[in-house]
Amino acid sequence: MSWRRLLCLVSLMFLVSCSDGSAPTAPTRRAAGPPAYGDALVVGSIGEPSTLIPILASDSPSHEVAGWVYNGLVEYDKDLKLVGDLARSWDVSPDGLTITFHLRRGVKWHDGADFTSRDVLYTYRVTIDPRTPTAYAEDFKQVRKAEAPDPYTFRVTYGKPFAPALASWGMNILPAHLLEGKDITRSELARRPVGTGPYRFKEWIAGQKIVLESFHDYFEGRPYVDRYIYRIIPDSATMYLELKAGGIDMMGLSPVQFARQTDTPDFRARFVKYRYPSFSYTYLGYNLKNPLFTDRRVRQAITCAISKDEIVHGVLLGLGQAAHGPYKPGTWAYNPNVNDFGYDPARARTLLAEAGWRETGSDGILEKDGRRFSFTILTNQGNDQRIKTAQIIQRRLRAVGIEVKIRVLEWASFLTNFIDKRNFEAVILAWTIPQDPDIFDIWDSGKTGPKELNFIGYSNPEVDRLLEEGRRTFDQEKRRRCYWRIQEILARDQPYTFLYVPDSLPAVSSRFRGIEPAPAGIMYDFIHWYVPKEEQLHQ
């Protein structure tokens, strides 16, 4: 499983079919039956990919699909340990500055060409090329020298210690023979990718579906399931109807669907539900270039006015937990001692008054310098949890004198016309993060350019220093101190109101066998899923 795929699907502390907080138990499954090739997995998603060239994409749908088409040099296994992928092994120099990758032989691109170190060297060079609009260059700019001494050896040398170095080579490797010497932003691979992965591209019908077919020459063996069909269904209620009608085989359930709508004999007979804490967090992010949000007392006040527990219980039905920073509770980089702002409307009003906001009109909305405190929260279509969260925030902020409007946008338009152009006041979105706790790309003040991930414009010199310090040592305890301090600063500055860590709640048709829940989730071993011949539905 590639790092980019992991970015979309990873989870820790796997729990299965367990909604009451009790110890995890395995769901009831049908008898295994003999493995067989054939059938298709039809997956529902609310978002359509923006591009299938991974280094040009910053959205989950793009990485989710591309993750089946491409491979990295390394990947995370089921226990979230780094193992070889396109690299069969590697050596690290005693000082930790040089990694020599020994590449697999006999790996084929989907068009039949041989995979070699030329492809890795090209991917590295195009990623750091200033003409490439990518959010992922920073890790590879740390490389002082990259070389391919022979077709099956790739070596990188760093100028100074870089803790995420090995994990960063989970990046998807691109085909040099199809891209070298060309403008990657104009490549047809954006719509028709060619990779080395377990599935190869077949078709993309805009707004409807993307179809991938199994690559029979895949170096880990032919996948049992012949096709992976990614259906684009922008509304989760419609997607759920499609699931029950048999139009899709797998989707992420909403808390209401998981807890209340699927507890029937018919659903239990036809589907298996899984539950596990996602490696992600949902947040309310502020455009820090907007005068409304430049005073951190205002951001602190907004956080004080929002009841995170109300959202966890009212929106997630308890299938999640409150978030207090950019790390998942229980992981080594998470600081359990952060003094975050709790629900305290009285303190919110005091902070707003200290920032100069006063109630002057009859409607109770605060004003300052003749301007009403009114702003719009943007979020994406199809995600009912985020829309309901916005509605709760709207009601709670109205109680302290802030008027909130809500605007729901189609996913591609949201990214292109609002996020990329910094054309927003506040947003409700979510981040997933890889296993290494380096969060440089999201929080460093130098990562605010077009297509980069610090799109709120956060800048704090101490955070910049700590981010750099955290990635420049291999000592985990030193890194922990850096990331704990960063969480303390973010809790004070409140550039986001960190809202919640939701549980992932996938449901999968029970005709699929071979699903083995693990710390990495359920999709890490998809090439070994299968449907017994007598139960296959798709030719």
Mean pLDDT, residues 253-282? 93
**What are the Cα distances from residue 456, in Å, to 299, 360, 439, 447, 449?**
13, 30, 15, 10, 11
Per-residue model confidence (pLDDT) at position 236: 87
Least confident of 16-25, 92-101, 241-250, 258-267: 16-25
Q: How many CB atoms lie within 10 A of CB 59?
A: 18
Residue 126, H or E segment: helix 117-128
Q: pLDDT by residue (tens digit) across 321-352? A: 999 999 988 889 999 999 899 999 999 999 99
Residue 274: what residue type? Y
Give dist(CA 419, CA 431) in Å, integer: 14
Q: What is the pLDDT of residue 536?
A: 95
For the segment 407-457, what is each residue's pLDDT rounded down to a tens digit? 999 988 998 899 999 999 999 999 987 788 999 999 999 999 888 999 999
3-state secondary structure of 330: coil
Length of the chain: 539
> Which DSSP category does 518 fall into?
B
CB 527 within 8 Å of CB 220: yes
Rounded to an integer, what distance in angstroms lies between the CA atom of residue 182 and that of residue 376?
A: 41
Mean pLDDT of 365-380: 96
**Whole-angstrom distance, CA of residue 346 vs CA of residue 507:** 42
Give 399's DSSP letter: T
Instruction: Using the predicted structure, report yes or no on whether residue 3 has a pLDDT greater than 50.
Output: no
Helix, strand, or coil here: 302? Answer: helix
| Integer angstrom CA distances of residue 118 from 83, 85, 229, 319, 401 | 22, 17, 31, 46, 60
**So what's the pLDDT on residue 521?**
87
Report residue 212 as tokens. Answer: 């991938």
- 65: helix, coil or strand? helix
pLDDT at 414: 92
Rounded distance, CA 4 to CA 145, Å?
24
pLDDT-based confidence at residue 538 (cuts at 50, 70, 90) = confident
Q: What is the pLDDT of residue 200?
A: 98
pLDDT value of residue 328: 85
Q: Report pLDDT for 322.
A: 95
pLDDT at residue 8 above 50?
Answer: no
| pLDDT of 12 above 50 | no
pLDDT for residue 450: 84
pLDDT at 4: 36
Place 120 in a pLDDT band, splitting at 50, 70 and 90: very high
Work out the average pLDDT over 394-409: 97
- Whether the predicted pLDDT of 30 surpasses 70: no
pLDDT range class, residue 31, cuts 50, 70, 90: low
83 near 72, Cβ under 8 Å?
Answer: no
3-state SS string over 457-468? CCCCHHHHHHHH
Chain-centroid distance of CA 188 in Å reads 25
pLDDT computed for residue 235 by the predictor = 87
Count Cβ neighbours within 10 Å for each residue of 8-34 and write b for 16 or more, e otherwise: bbbbbebbebbbeeeeeeebeeeeeee
Q: What are phi and psi of 351, to 5 degrees?
A: -65, -40
Report the pLDDT averaged over residues 198-208: 97
Q: What is the pLDDT of residue 32?
A: 67
3.40.630.30, 3.50.50.60, 3.10.105.10, 3.30.70.920: CATH of 280-503: 3.10.105.10
Q: Tell me what the pLDDT averaged over the chain comes to.
A: 92
* Chain segment 478-531, per-residue pLDDT in tens: 999 999 999 999 999 999 999 999 999 999 999 999 999 988 889 999 999 999
Q: How far is the first Cα of the chain from the last one, in angstroms, to the nearest whole number?
A: 26
- According to DSSP, the residues that pair with 225 across neighbouring strands are 38
Q: Would you tell me the crossing angle of helices 476-493 and 461-471 to the nearest 10 degrees?
A: 160
pLDDT, tens digit (0-9, with 9 covering 90-100), for 287-319? 999 999 999 999 999 999 999 999 999 999 999
Query: Encoding tokens for residue 405?
Result: 């409007």
- The predicted-structure confidence for 40-52, as pLDDT tens digits, reads as follows 999 999 889 999 9
State both tokens at 203.
């078709």
Query: Would you state the pLDDT for residue 29?
Result: 54
CA distance 205 to 231: 10
- Burial state string for 402-427 with b = 16 or more CB within 10 A and e = fewer than 16: bbbeeeebbbbebbeebbbeeebbbb
Instruction: Look up tokens 């084929």; give the residue.
Output: 108
Which residue, 97, 92, 41, 90, is CA-closest to 65? Answer: 41
- Close Cβ partners of 207 (under 8 Å, ≥ 6 residues apart): 48, 232
